[in-house]
Structure 1
Amino acid sequence: MKLILTGRIVTMDAARTVLATGAVFVDGNAIVAVQDAQEPVPAGFDAARRIDTHGIVFPGLIELLNHLSYNVLRLWSVPASFKDRGQWQRHPQYVRQVNGPMLKLSQSSDPRVLAAIARFAETKCILGGVTSSQGISLKSDHLQKYYQGALRVVEAPRDADFFKAATHIPDLHAKDWDAFNTELHKAHCLLLHLSEGFDRTALDAFKALQNPATGAWAINEALAGIHCAALGQEEFGVMKTHGGAMVWSPLSNFMLYGQTAKVDLARTRGIPIALGSDWSPSGSKNLLHELKVAKVANDVRRYGFSDADIVSLATSSAAAIVKWNNQVGSLEVGKRADIVVITAPAATDHYSAIIGASESDIQLVLIDGNATVGTPTLMKAIRASGESITVGGALRIVNYGQPDPEIAPIPYTEAVQVLTDALANLPNIPTAPPGLIQAVSARPQRRWTLALDEQHDTGYSLRPMLPFMGQPTGPDVTRVAQAGIVTAPIGPVPLDKASVPDDHQYAANLNGQFNIPQDIKDGLKIYYPV
């Protein structure tokens, strides 16, 4: 299919070219031209469908931090101020409201629950213009895989032209410097949680990357540290020297710790930075809303980013960190057609428009040239079909594409009902271990279950666990998480809303958070009036 999309084109290329009245020419999954709308069309496009978007056209948003399975849960009311990750993971309220419910869902014997989690989490992302994110990890017997839907998965892209990012490392390698360094040098991009907190424990996790015998650092251009909250001037200097990058998640930092990473120091050092929403219990619903938190934090704390810089954290900069910048991250000739169209008044600055946009403003999303989400008018013009859902009272068509062959497809509306019922009936969900099930009049089928980060012993870690000064730099979080279930009663919890326009309590819940500083709360009221 050949397609011409016209509107205000924000390319996010190196020159940050913007065409006030431009056109993007798409042939299949590729962009073949980006030019002024009045110029002659490229050869072969005389009969192409021309879609006047009347909006602003951006590259798709790329997210390098999200624990997608947990996005069925609503914003957690964080009950105390913490200094590092281990503290909040052991808190009884976290066990009751986050850890316990997800463990129960992950063990459900009803295959619709797994399918519903995948459908709901993916929908949350694509409604917010996210075209690439981290995957939903599944397990069956001793097998592991990532759920494959419409969303591009950074750990397992279907296309060989995209490097696979690593987000886990074998447990044994995570605890041994030489083994960790070897794994690091095998990777194109290794996205690992690093220094998650603001105390000495969090800082020691970074210091442990230095070999105590040789002084060498296990940091190179493949390493992208997620959070990097405890790092200061000296540590970011080390990161710069050795080529490391970071992924910033300001809302989650503020909610859990009352402060966020020193991104101003990272910026002035020239550290590559991307943005991540983390997960809905202590982060934004999707990356579109994390842009707002980044904007407020930047303006209040004077980090020095322009609005264009902030948008780059979710587009061109993220693509460069994951080594996909030859494929996505900007609207340029030869790149993939990952495209987001938003509506905004003509006089609105284009960068502030997407920072301030909600899911209701998303008019069209293309992923690899496929129309994935859009208004009925635009989807009809492209001749794309799909499931009808409402976002803030307005109709959207969602095309999920080819379903994952291992997971039975489920309509979004049914997924919402399945999850609503399951979460309302905790802890009485029937459970069964993974394995083979005998289908009626068919060969045995494999039963998949969720492999939750932090809660299941998969043999892999999300972070370096290297010792520092002879002491471990992180607890066995899997044992901590599962032990907490024994002592903390699990009750019903509500399903989160998939979009902010449909979540009428979102602004109040955000404003009521215990740890978010008042100046940040006041800044967020611009986007979320209380």
Structure 2
Amino acid sequence: MPKEAHMSGWAIHGRIVTMADDGPAAFSGRVWVRDDGTIAAVTHGTAKGPAELKGAPVVDVGHSLVLPGLVDLHNHLAYDTLPLWAEPTRATPWAHHDAWPRAASYAASTTWPAYAFITACPAELLAYVEVKALVGGTTSTQGSPPSNRPRDGWLVRNVDDESFGTGNRNLVLASVLTATPAVLADRANKMRAGSAFVYHCGEGQQGSVVAREYDDAEAAGCLQPRFVAVHATSVPAGRFADWTDAGAVAWSPFSNLWLYGQTTDVPAARAAGLSVCLGADWAPSGSKNVLGELKVARLVSDHLGWGLTDEDLARMVTSAPGDVLFRAWGRQVGRLEPGALADLLVLDATARATPYRALVRATEDDVRLVAVAGRPAYGEPALLTTALAAAGPAGAPAPTTVRVGARAMGLVLTDPTDGTTPWTWDQVVARLEAVRVDPKHEIEVAQQRGSAFGADGLDATPDLGLQLALDMPTGVGPVGGLPHDLGQVVVPPLQSLVHDADWLASVHGRGFHGGLLDGLGTFYG
């Protein structure tokens, strides 16, 4: 009798961390994944799965933790190849977000090298920075650079661009720039109609002029459930209570401390009923991924006596942002439950590991497997191969190899121009290095073929190829433009994908964290 064929789908068996609001933190069980990228069921022990997936293959990860993929609700991916930046002549913290872009070293250190990559090799830039997110367990990230065309099918779920095949790219709106009252009023109306709005709001020190951005948002009617206030560091504690239709705050403590020496009043925001979600921000003043930002949040809470538990922090990168996005997407991430999107993270852990503590203390070395929309994307080579076979054929090439710290890991990577042609990690890095070695030539070639963006926006002409724009800090053009002599553009060496010893050393004695961030070394020793 022939073996009964299973419906398209697969399951993963391990210690399941659903991030449900009740029930056990973790249990031995299985997550059953449909071929459409959603979760069909979550079962305990070795119980049979749903009838629709009868006979589906099961990938066993032992006592490793199976969690929802992590959600980074605040980033600026276009800059995530760069090292940490600090103005060498600055002795006191910056007052607000309009101050540090005027620093003498800012454009040459940050804008110009980012411009070189985004102009000359946009596809390779995106591949590098999205892999950097993926190796830290991130499956959804906000802050992908503006582009001239839809970008479905990339490595991680792009919060701003996600349309779930509808073509509606207004599910989540975002603004880095301070919006006018008219724009805020328009965004308030769009939120009432169902969109979410991620807005840099009140980024700076308490008492600084940018606190009025929160006042303006309130006056325009933006304090709604689908409003995400990024940073809100200057907002006085009592003002969060005015947000009666509770939305969310995106908290980036590393960046806050690095630039301003202060951070968001998280206890006040939580007391007002707001969801607090973590974001890694960007490489010049942030962590490499939200897995790293969890450790910053742990240090800050302990230092300030806030009493945030490991579960509180774990929810800031899973269920909290997932629930916020559900309000706009109508689809759940950040939880393992029937109907949710099957974005999965497998972390190495002992059989007795406390799940939330294990997540907070985990490093890139603990990431065993990451799947986005049910498709294994990155992981330990043997486990990734097994998971890909279980998930079934989808036309993807064999995984390429990427060096992550001391480990050789597998990565499913295809050329973004067609989505099927094999693309190796070495090809990605080689192209970035070519631009890094001779940015003047590469920028000139890109400008000649018309792929550089101008002050009026991005050109959607099909034969120009992919175009991207910088989103920090002045939108579609670099601050002050490029130098007249492009020979002045220097692109620093590509940064590692992990929080390594060199990166940790670059934290010491720089920024305005008063030494607090030096404690990150205790997590990566």
For normalisation by structure 1, the TM-score amounts to 0.84
1:293 corresponds to: 296
Deviation, 1:78, is: 4.7
For residues 1-41 of structure 1, what are the alpha-carbon distances to aligned partners after superposition, in whole Å with 9 as ceiling and x for unaligned? 33221111110012153343222122222222212223344
Match of 2:160 among 139, 155, 159: 155
Match of 1:420 among 433, 445, 468: 433
Residue type matched to 1:166 in 2? Answer: L
Deviation, 1:160, is: 4.7
- Tell me, yes or no, if structure 1 residue 504 matches structure 2 residue 496: no
1:494 corresponds to: 493
- Tell me, yes or no, if structure 1 residue 382 matches structure 2 residue 394: no
Q: Closer, same or farther in 2 for the Cα pair 1:229/1:325, shift >3 Å?
A: farther
- Helix, strand or coil at the partner of 1:25: strand
**8 Å contact 1:70–1:280 — kept in the other structure?**
yes
- Tell me, yes or no, if structure 1 residue 227 matches structure 2 residue 223: no
Match of 1:26 among 10, 15, 33: 33
For normalisation by structure 2, the TM-score amounts to 0.85
Match of 2:99 among 87, 90, 93: 87
1:463 corresponds to: none
Alignment partners' CA distance in 2, 1:188 and 1:123: 28
1:265 corresponds to: 268
Match of 1:370 among 364, 370, 375: 375
Within a 5 Å distance, the mapping from 1:319-398 to structure 2 comes to 319-323=322-326, 324=329, 326-384=331-389, 385-398=398-411
- Tell me, yes or no, if structure 1 residue 51 matches structure 2 residue 54: no
Deviation, 1:422, is: 1.9
Deviation, 1:98, is: 0.5
Residue type matched to 1:156 in 2? Answer: D
- Helix, strand or coil at the partner of 2:349: coil
Alignment partners' CA distance in 1, 2:347 and 2:376: 14
Q: Closer, same or farther in 2 for the Cα pair 1:37/1:357, shift >3 Å?
A: same
Alignment partners' CA distance in 2, 1:314 and 1:434: 42
Alignment partners' CA distance in 2, 1:411 and 1:249: 32
Alignment partners' CA distance in 2, 1:444 and 1:249: 37
2:282 corresponds to: 279
For residues 297-323 of structure 1, what are the alpha-carbon distances to aligned partners after superposition, in whole Å with 9 as ceiling and x for unaligned? 112212232111111111110011122
Give the stretch that moved more between structures: 355-364 or 17-26.
17-26
- Helix, strand or coil at the partner of 2:217: coil
- Tell me, yes or no, if structure 1 residue 10 matches structure 2 residue 8: no
Give the stretch that moved more between structures: 173-182 or 27-36.
173-182
Give the stretch that moved more between structures: 183-192 or 83-92.
183-192
Residue type matched to 2:126 in 1? Answer: A
1:71 corresponds to: 80
Alignment partners' CA distance in 1, 2:270 and 2:99: 29
Deviation, 1:145, is: 4.3
Residue type matched to 1:497 in 2? Answer: S
Name stretches of at least 5 consecutive residues in structure 1 with no aligned partner.
438-442, 459-477
Q: Closer, same or farther in 2 for the Cα pair 1:204/1:172, shift >3 Å?
A: closer
Name stretches of at least 5 consecutive residues in structure 2 with no aligned partner.
1-7, 390-397, 452-460
Residue type matched to 1:188 in 2? Answer: S
Tell me: higher relative CO, structure 1 or 2? Use CA pairs within 8 A at least 6 residues apart. Answer: 1
- Helix, strand or coil at the partner of 2:432: helix
Deviation, 1:411, is: 2.6
Q: Closer, same or farther in 2 for the Cα pair 1:402/1:303, shift >3 Å?
A: farther
1:454 corresponds to: 472
Deviation, 1:499, is: 2.0
Match of 1:96 among 96, 108, 112: 108
2:197 corresponds to: 190
- Helix, strand or coil at the partner of 1:281: helix
Q: Closer, same or farther in 2 for the Cα pair 1:485/1:333, shift >3 Å?
A: same
Alignment partners' CA distance in 1, 2:14 and 2:184: 51
Alignment partners' CA distance in 2, 1:204 and 1:497: 38
**8 Å contact 2:319–2:335 — kept in the other structure?**
yes
Residue type matched to 1:453 in 2? Answer: D
- Helix, strand or coil at the partner of 2:21: coil
Give the fraction of aligned pairs with identical amino acids, expressed as a percent.
27
Alignment partners' CA distance in 1, 2:388 and 2:179: 51
**8 Å contact 2:122–2:468 — kept in the other structure?**
yes
Alignment partners' CA distance in 2, 1:16 and 1:90: 51
Deviation, 1:146, is: 4.4
Deviation, 1:450, is: 2.0
Deviation, 1:266, is: 0.7
Count of aligned pairs between the two proteins: 489
- Tell me, yes or no, if structure 1 residue 137 matches structure 2 residue 160: no
Q: Closer, same or farther in 2 for the Cα pair 1:53/1:408, shift >3 Å?
A: closer
Alignment partners' CA distance in 2, 1:340 and 1:2: 17
- Tell me, yes or no, if structure 1 residue 119 matches structure 2 residue 127: yes
Within a 5 Å distance, the mapping from 1:198-217 to structure 2 comes to 198=205, 199-211=207-219, 217=221
Q: Closer, same or farther in 2 for the Cα pair 1:77/1:494, shift >3 Å?
A: farther
Deviation, 1:258, is: 1.3
Deviation, 1:369, is: 0.7
